[in-house]
Structure formats: C-alpha cells, structure tokens
Amino acid sequence: MKNTHVQTCSAAGEHNHTKKSATICYVGGRSGGHIVPALTHAHNHLIKKPDDKILFIATNTPLDGALVGAATHVHKKLYLKLPNVPRRLLAMPAFTYRFGVAFVKSFNTLRRQRVARVVSMGGYVSLPVCLAARLLRIPVTLFELNAHPGKATKFLAPHVTEVAVCFEQAKKSFARSVTCVPYPLQYQAKPHEQELIDHKRLHGLEVGKKVLLVLGGSQGSIFLNGLIGRWLDAEPSAHDRVHVVHQTGANDSCDWAAWYHERGIAATVFPYSNDLALWYSCADLVVCRAGAGTLFEVAFFQKPCVIIPLVTAETAHQVDNAKAMVAHYPGQFAMFNQADIQGNPELFCERMAHELQR
C-alpha cells in the first residue's frame, strides 16, 4: 500500500487502443468515495489521451448529480434509478424491475456510444453496467478501493477483464489474479505557503489555536457530529484552544454553525466539499470515518488522525480500512470502535486531549 498519486500507475485501465480516440465509461455512485476517484482517474486518463471521451454512469441521487454534473471533463452522463439491494423480500420485485431497466439503459448506452472500456469503482450501480459490458464484449477494469471487497465487487470479479486493488491485503479476497495499484488520489501537490497564509486569513484561523478537521464522509456522520459536540461540552477548556473545521453532511438537522457560535467556539461549518486540500494543510488533527479516499488523503497530507470507522448491518469494511492504515502508519493514525466510545466516552476525550497537546 503506497501513498502515491494514481498518475504513477498504468497497470489498470490504461490500455492503448488502435483508434485515435475512444469513449471510456466510468461507473460509480451513491458515495463520494466511489465517484471522486472515478472522476480523478478519468481526468488522468484524459491527460494522457486528450482525444478520448468520457461517459459517466451514476445513480439519480442528488449527491451523484452534483459531483458528476460539476465535472467538466465528463462529456456524457447517464443517471440510473437503482436503489441498493433490499433486505426485505417484499421489496425484491420492485428492485428486480429497476435492475432490469438499468441493465437495458446501460446496454443501449454502451452500444450507442461505442464504448471501448468500462472502468468501475464498485457499488451496486456497477452491476448492470458491467454485466451489460460483458454481454457486449467490452473490456472491464474493476477497482476495489477498500481493504475488504464489497458484495458487488466480489460478484463481478470473475466476469471482468481485470481487477485492481488499492490495499495489499485485499488481494487475498479474490480467487483470481489482481493488481495492487495506488489509490486514485485527486491531490497531486500540497498548497504553497502563500496559499495557506491567504486561506488562514480568509477564514480567521488564529495563531496559537489548533485546527481540528472533522470529516464524516461525503454524506456526513450524525454520530461523529454529536461526538464532537459532547466532547466540547465536556471540555470547556478546549473552547479557546481550537478552531473546528466541520464537514457535517446535509442530513443533520442541527444548526452546527449556531451551536458553535453559542459556545464561543471558533468554527467553519459546511455540509460537504470536494476540495479539502487547504483544510488538510491547515489541520493539526483530523477526526474522521474510514472511507478509503479520506484515509489516503490524510496520509498524503501527513496529518495526525483519529479514525472511528462506520459499521452498519450491511458492511464493516471501514474497520478493515482503518486497521490497514494504523498498521501501515502507526505514528499517524489511531482507531477507535464506535461501540467502545459509546460505552466509554472518556476514551475519546482522553485521546483528543493527548492529540491537542502535541
């Protein structure tokens, strides 16, 4: 596992074509963790082959529309109405119908656009697209961005041309040959000193205050938001020592900007940002979930980080991501299980006190 920008990698999805130009289809959805690396990989592809065209297939969710819609290097877009696989049996007929519609739309689009290759970053939306590509005999490169492969990736792996993983330990999850490649990191260089000076002045970052960057992922984390709030309420002595930069997500009903203002805590609050380079550079400490993209970005900027992986009924892959990072960068990353913090909040408070005294 290397902290290297994807431009150094040509092992996966970078094939020469006899045509002067080609259309490359990228697929990913329902998470910035799928879409941002796909957009980054597409951008790097166009640097090498500027005559090629990019088709992007995502879901019809607001997040997908915002991220893909803002990408000027994407020439054509297709948004599929495809929910996650339901857990209730009664919901399966509706899902099956939606899947069939998504497959037909994907098949027709790939054929009409004469797509030369499909590059998938995983997620359920990749299923109809990659299966349609196989039927059309279009080569497929399948990326697994996490330390433990998701269900869609495991299902598709035997049916695609090649599989690329970003964590070395993910190799053992496949019964076929795979290639370990750098994560498609969107940042190529750290900001210049003058950029940092201007950024700190613009946002009122004061000398002597620690900058705490809180990231709950592209959709935010209500648990992480509440945890930071409970810590600050329990540690009033920290109010004058920190400037909190808080990406809250769009689904939290709490007005966090007002919350910080009422307590006299310096804070910069926003729902989501796709470009955090300057905030990473300013941060003295990052508290985050364990999406692969966030962790590789933190590693790139070499910031101390407290990770609290997300665990749901469907997946616990973030735990594997976090463990991999702690093992590879033991002096930079520390991990806490959410259940442990819920049972003993003092664990988090003690770690925060330790980190802010560095």
Burial (Cβ within 10 Å: 0-12, 13-18, ≥19) of residue 19: exposed
Of 180, 202, 232, the position where a domain reaches its end is 180
Contacts of 270 (CB under 8 A, 6+ apart): 246, 247, 248
The CATH number of the domain holding residue 65 is: 3.40.50.2000
Instruction: Give, in degrees to the nearest 5, the angle at Cα 310 between 306 and 311.
Output: 135
**Distance between CA 201 and CA 57 in Å, rounded?**
40
Answer yes or no: do 31 and 173 share one domain: yes
305 DSSP β-pair partners: 286, 333
Of 127, 145, 180, the position where a domain reaches its end is 180
Q: Which of 139, 141, 133 is nearest to 110 (CA)?
A: 133
- Output the six-digit token pair for 149: 């492969």
Answer yes or no: do 130 and 197 share one domain: no
DSSP 156-219: HGGGSSEEEESSGGGGGG-SS--EE-----S--SPPPHHHHHHHHHHTTPPTTPEEEEEE--TT
Answer yes or no: do 236 and 314 share one domain: yes
120 DSSP β-pair partners: 27, 142
246 DSSP β-pair partners: 214, 269
Residue 311 in domain: yes
What per-residue confidence (pLDDT) applies to 8?
31
Answer yes or no: do 163 and 287 share one domain: no
Answer yes or no: do 155 and 243 share one domain: no
Residue 152 in domain: yes
- Output the six-digit token pair for 302: 């070499």
What per-residue confidence (pLDDT) applies to 1?
41
Q: Is 338 helix (H, G, I), strand (E, B) or coil?
A: helix
Answer yes or no: do 322 and 221 share one domain: yes
Domain extent for 66: 6-180
**Distance between CA 167 and CA 351 in Å, rounded?**
27
Residue 53 CA to chain centroid, in angstroms? 24
As for how many domains the chain has, the answer is 2
Answer yes or no: do 19 and 123 share one domain: yes
pLDDT < 70 stretches in the chain: 1-19, 313-315
Answer yes or no: do 109 and 146 share one domain: yes
Answer yes or no: do 209 and 327 share one domain: yes
Answer yes or no: do 209 and 312 share one domain: yes
Answer yes or no: do 341 and 268 share one domain: yes
- Output the six-digit token pair for 131: 């299966």
